Structure 1
Amino acid sequence: MVRALMTTQHFQGRVALITGASSGIGRAAALAYAARGAHVVLAARRESALRDAAREVEALGVRALPVRCDVTSEEDVARLISETRDAFGGLDFLVNNAGLGLYGPVEGFSEAQLRQVFEINFFGLVRVTRAALPLLRARAPGSQVLNVSSVLGHRGLPLLGGYGASKAAVNLLTESLRAELAAEGIRVLLVSPGLTETEFRDARLNAEGWRQDAIPLNAMSAEAVAQALVRASHRERRETVLTLPGRAMVLANRLVPGLFDRVARRIANPARKP
């Protein structure tokens, strides 16, 4: 009970901006921060779903500001930050969650597909973070940037190299940004989910002729990932790798990379071109 109270006090009346907030992990994160008393700025491209998510947030007794935003658009991002400033004056938590997947071999996906994935997963994250820094500085020390990565950003798997590369770029950028902002009291955190049950797989790009069947593994729920984000935020945990298989994969790659290469090839075997 005491721990729950302390957690709530950490977020009460503060402001969280979440990208990709209309569904999946982003929507669950918006509700998780709101449940602890934070006001929430919800950013996403799908206006109808975004308004629905905002109503769910407001039902928890906090303010919600839905802003249609494509993170690949400088104009949209500038408007997102302007509306956040007008509504709240500052920003305590920036959750960079918007993302796009890519499936297929390196020789199979197009350069245009890869650029699209990097434009959202990496450049979009950079674009929003840079624009939000003045608002985060207004609430420092104690404000945070939380970057949602993936276990695939720590270890590549066959047929997921394009997506994993974009997340590996996020991981390295996070380390650099953490060091750059530490003296200002802005914390930069990394959360890396494993397989998660969302619309993400349905929306991702596929190399021509490739499509992945259902994976015979237990997936995390979006709500579980959102709770992990809130815990990382509360504890200011620098890096969180989610799921036991995810942590095992990262550890195995570090300790026995050659062995894990063979395991990775076997994981990919069922997913062949039709």
Structure 2
Amino acid sequence: MPSGAFVGRVVLITGASSGIGRAAARAYAAQGAHLVLAARREELLREVVREVEGLGARALAVRCDITRPEDVERLMRETQASHGGLDILINNAGIGLFGPVEALAEEQLRQVFEVNFFALVRVTRAALPLLRRRPGAQIVNVSSVLGHRGLPLLGGYGAAKAAVNALTESLRAELAAENISVLLVSPGFTETEFREHRLNAEGWRQSAPPLKQMSADEVAAAMVKASRRQRRDTILTLPGRVMVLANRLAPGLFDRVARRMIGKMVKRQES
């Protein structure tokens, strides 16, 4: 018999083909959940399906570009047809952006906001009719420590995540009366392929993260724990929590610390 905190519950994860999304699929499956896995890379999705089915989960892979309204509508139809409803939505899909604000192309900023913010809103709105049918439903928005405190050269990405943070607070209040919990999970720098697919301002590339990285599995474990306990806000890694606290208590001092990080982070591309 399946066992765990989420036995029989249906969890939809965007960006499920790799990184935090893939690790979250394994973590929820290990707790008895059934899964809907959405991403653009269908072959990788099928690999994740095999992994979670090996853990006893029932899983549906849906090739989905969350920036396309028709894909999102189809995702919800297939979720309903396959699982009969939805208990937990995990808005995980995202894209990064690196470079000083003055060097960021407007097209890059719009792309980052489209994936990280507008698509998250699109998926959430489409999922609400399904979530409303299940008691104790949840929305888990994956943000970033950078949504709480911006760092040099990561301002475009941090701005999109800050928008997610504000949206999460509003949704939490709006949906409380319907018994839908809205949770925010904010990883620090995480060891995934995320940096490899990130957008870069022309002539700029990050050489290394300024802080110690955590693994995708560690993020997923913390996400499941937050989901199980319905913890409103989870900021991950000790350096991440220190960074957010230092910014609240001594923002001027942390500004100086942040400026010193630039030399460690940046690798100027050869022209």
Same fold (TM over 0.5): yes
In the other structure, the counterpart of 2:254 is 260
Unaligned runs of 5+ in 2: none
CA contact (8 A) 2:210 2:261 kept: no
RMSD, matched Cα: 1.2
In the other structure, the counterpart of 1:247 is 241
Task: Identify the match of residue 38 of structure 2 among 38, 43, 47.
Answer: 43
TM-score of the superposed pair, with normalisation by structure 1: 0.95
SS of the residue corresponding to residue 11 of structure 1 reads coil
Deviations along 1:216-253, one digit per CA (max 9) or x if unpaired, are: 64210000000011000000000000000000000000
Give me the whole-angstrom Cα distance separating, in 1, the residues matched to 2:123 and 2:223. Answer: 18
Give me the whole-angstrom Cα distance separating, in 2, the residues matched to 1:15 and 1:261. Answer: 43
Question: Relative to 1, partners in 2 of residues 1:238 and 1:216: Cα closer, same or farther, differing over 3 Å?
Answer: closer
Within 5 Å, give how 1:152-163 maps onto structure 2.
Answer: 152-163=146-157
Q: In the alignment, is residue 77 of structure 1 matched against residue 72 of structure 2?
A: yes
In structure 2, give the amino acid aligned to 1:222. Answer: A
Give me the whole-angstrom Cα distance separating, in 2, the residues matched to 1:60 and 1:220. Answer: 24
Q: In the alignment, is residue 228 of structure 1 matched against residue 186 of structure 2?
A: no
Alpha-carbon deviation of 1:272? 5.3
Unaligned runs of 5+ in 1: 1-7
Equivalences, count: 267
Percent of aligned pairs with the same residue? 73
Alpha-carbon deviation of 1:215? 2.9
CA contact (8 A) 2:207 2:267 kept: no
Give me the whole-angstrom Cα distance separating, in 2, the residues matched to 1:196 and 1:215. Answer: 9
In structure 2, give the amino acid aligned to 1:223. Answer: D
In the other structure, the counterpart of 1:5 is none
CA contact (8 A) 2:189 2:209 kept: no
In the other structure, the counterpart of 2:170 is 176
Give me the whole-angstrom Cα distance separating, in 2, the residues matched to 1:68 and 1:160. Answer: 29
In structure 1, give the amino acid aligned to 2:58. Answer: R
Alpha-carbon deviation of 1:90? 1.1
Give me the whole-angstrom Cα distance separating, in 1, the residues matched to 2:210 and 2:105. Answer: 28
Deviations along 1:134-190, one digit per CA (max 9) or x if unpaired, are: 1100102x1100000000000000000000000000000000000000000000000
Alpha-carbon deviation of 1:9? 4.2
In structure 1, give the amino acid aligned to 2:110. Answer: R
SS of the residue corresponding to residue 178 of structure 1 reads helix
SS of the residue corresponding to residue 145 of structure 1 reads strand
Give me the whole-angstrom Cα distance separating, in 2, the residues matched to 1:255 and 1:60. Answer: 45
Task: Identify the match of residue 140 of structure 2 among 136, 140, 146.
Answer: 146
SS of the residue corresponding to residue 103 of structure 2 reads coil
SS of the residue corresponding to residue 259 of structure 1 reads helix
